[in-house]
Amino acid sequence: MLYLVGLGLADEKDITVRGLEVVKTASRVYLEAYTSILLIEKEKLEAYYGRPVIVADRELVESGSDEILDNAKDVDVAFLVVGDPFGATTHTDLVLRARELGIPTKTIPNASIMSAIGCTGLQLYNFGQTVSMVFFTETWKPSSYYDRVKENANLGLHTLVLLDIKVKEQSLENMARGRKIYEPPRYMTVAQCASQMLETEEERKEGVYGPDSLAIGAARVGAPDQKLVAGTLKELTDVDMGRPLHSLVLLGKRAHDLEKDYIEQFAVNKETFNAAWKRGYGGN
């Protein structure tokens, strides 16, 4: 049996009781480590589980799935995924390959940022499509996310923006020379995301949002040091939310007063927050 086990969002105790039972008894335990991260080290997980955990990077999952699935008809293999196994990134590919090989699969759900973002006080019913923001480079600033945000904004809906993480990246030089030397991991911050969003608006000029648009930065959702900050996009370009992971929510115009009551407490600056709210939200 192939088990896809959700780990939740923050640390080793966010696994479910059922998930922990699977991890403790499986023959092999893999940890998917390229679409998200837990806020703790692999070693801490291993100590908690009392057994070794094999880190599965993108290469292993995408081209080495035979290794992961080896013998899984007869023994249990646990494939651990931060958040929910079908959350921000789906692992339907691995499941489809397992099915082709006649290997039964089972999923153990867990918290995902897609619903845990409700901790902002924003109603999940009022969210449109979720989008992803990648790190811009000098020459590559993809703005397809902007079209999705525009669709949401036109309906007055909130947009959850998931922020890029880069792990096991090679520099161009190391890649060219075939050296398996990796850059330190990078995690996009709320400030970087807000800056990139304003850069795209500058470029596209379709008025989907602007420096005065309200947004909420969320860091380490579900962890003891979870942090939420509400402010204008301009304000958020200067905010320091601390260690990863970060997410951002762009507020939709359909936001109502109950949502405002809740998020106002996180405002960087209550005055600018209220001024921005009055100009464009809550049916004003």
Is 221 marked as binding a ligand?
Answer: yes
Is 155 marked as binding a ligand?
Answer: no
Distance CA 260, CA 35 (A): 32
Residue 231 binds a copy of itself, judged by CB under 8 A: no
> Considering only residues 138-157, where is the footprint of a copy of itself by CB under 8 A?
151, 155, 157
CB closer to a copy of itself out of 222 and 282: 222
Question: What DSSP state is assigned to residue 8?
Answer: B
Distance CA 211, CA 81 (A): 36
* Residues 7, 19 contacting (CB under 8 angstroms): yes
- Closest by Cα among 125, 26, 123 to 80: 26
CB closer to a copy of itself out of 13 and 180: 13
CB closer to a copy of itself out of 155 and 275: 155
CB of 38 to a copy of itself, least distance (A): 13
Is 84 marked as binding a ligand?
Answer: yes
Is 112 marked as binding a ligand?
Answer: yes
> Considering only residues 188-227, where is the footprint of a copy of itself by CB under 8 A?
221-222
Scanning 57-65, 80-88, 198-206, 231-239 for contacts with a copy of itself by CB under 8 A, the matching segment is 80-88
Collapsed DSSP state (helix, strand, coil) of residue 219: strand
Peptide bond before 9: cis, by omega within 30 degrees of 0? no
List of residues 6+ apart from 269 with CB closer than 8 A:
231, 235
Scanning 34-42, 117-125, 168-176, 201-209 for contacts with a copy of itself by CB under 8 A, the matching segment is 117-125
Look up residue 258 and give its amino acid: L
CB closer to a copy of itself out of 12 and 201: 12
Distance CA 153, CA 104 (A): 42
* Residues 216, 236 contacting (CB under 8 angstroms): no
Distance CA 130, CA 143 (A): 14
Site for a copy of itself (CB under 8 A): which residue of 20, 40, 54, 55?
20
Residue 16 binds a copy of itself, judged by CB under 8 A: yes
Site for a copy of itself (CB under 8 A): which residue of 74, 102, 125, 178?
125
Residue 39 binds a copy of itself, judged by CB under 8 A: no
Cα angle, residue 230 at apex, residues 227 and 236 outer, rounded to 5°: 90
Scanning 37-45, 66-74, 114-122, 209-217 for contacts with a copy of itself by CB under 8 A, the matching segment is 114-122
Distance CA 121, CA 36 (A): 23
List of residues 6+ apart from 150 with CB closer than 8 A:
206, 208
CB of 239 to a copy of itself, least distance (A): 22
Residue 118 binds a copy of itself, judged by CB under 8 A: yes
Binding site for a copy of itself (CB under 8 A): 6, 8-9, 12-18, 20-21, 83-88, 90, 92, 95-96, 99, 107-112, 114-119, 121, 123-132, 151, 155, 157, 221-222, 258, 261-262, 265
